[in-house]
A and B are shown apart, each in its own frame.
Chain A
């Protein structure tokens, strides 16, 4: 009985220490990436190539999701607002929800699923097939050559994708509210224009998406780089990328929002 208790406690301690070690490794990995970024930014074609893979190839899923999220917001918002006779405010509702929350958050979640998993699997497989080792033996640091360009590509892509998401989402809301339901066109846009603040709403949304961009990309890169070099290891790492990125994004969103709303 006592033995069992001790083993149980030891298990908890072991897991906790393990997690903290990993966190430390991830932090060191992040700092090394930053320190070695200079070289990859000088060879900008590497960053551009990766931006194409993480950013441009994510466009379709972002655009389609944004359109549907915007349309659903239009439907739900109208349904509720008309009970209070303020259906003209639908434009404000759609725009604020998207710019402040849904744009950055949903984009980050989609990004983790679309681009994050691809990054983890690619780097994990490069490790499993000794490509990273080969690079090291050629006196080329894989963090500078492989990791840093992907990091900057993710950091550049995320705010742009989030901005695009908000824009398409507003358009989706417009499609439902104005042509379909018949809300006044002028009221839809003018109310939106007067109620959405540049500093308070848009800039805060951009800050969020920048933070999510750093977090999602670092998690994806680290999970790939840290994955055991086996098929099983890479598959677990890919799963962890999605789970950890999603949790980190949702948790950080709460923290950031609470600071922004004071």
Chain B
């Protein structure tokens, strides 16, 4: 599994950071990758609730990602699944990843730890299922005798 972790220290209390992460108004202010607009932001912040965000980049391309809230502990932790439903990375079509955000109160505000994890990829799942494991299991049993 591949995962990326980024840490930021923010001069704002955790409840304000949590709102910025989860309200449509908040998301509209930071989700876009450049100065292009966020076209749509929907959030249903509860266990099993979904989010959907669509934005347009300056080059005119539109991208949309969606996912489900897997853990919601306001204002300290948020876990959600992540999937591109329009645009995004063609290489990742249909691939689901996971975003975990922890907010820890510190003297100056909040320490945000952000982790995006790629779950097992299609390629590795396929190679796993192609059956060479079966052949090696046999070989392993042979050596174990």
A, B assembled together: no
A-side interface residues toward B, CB under 8 Å? none
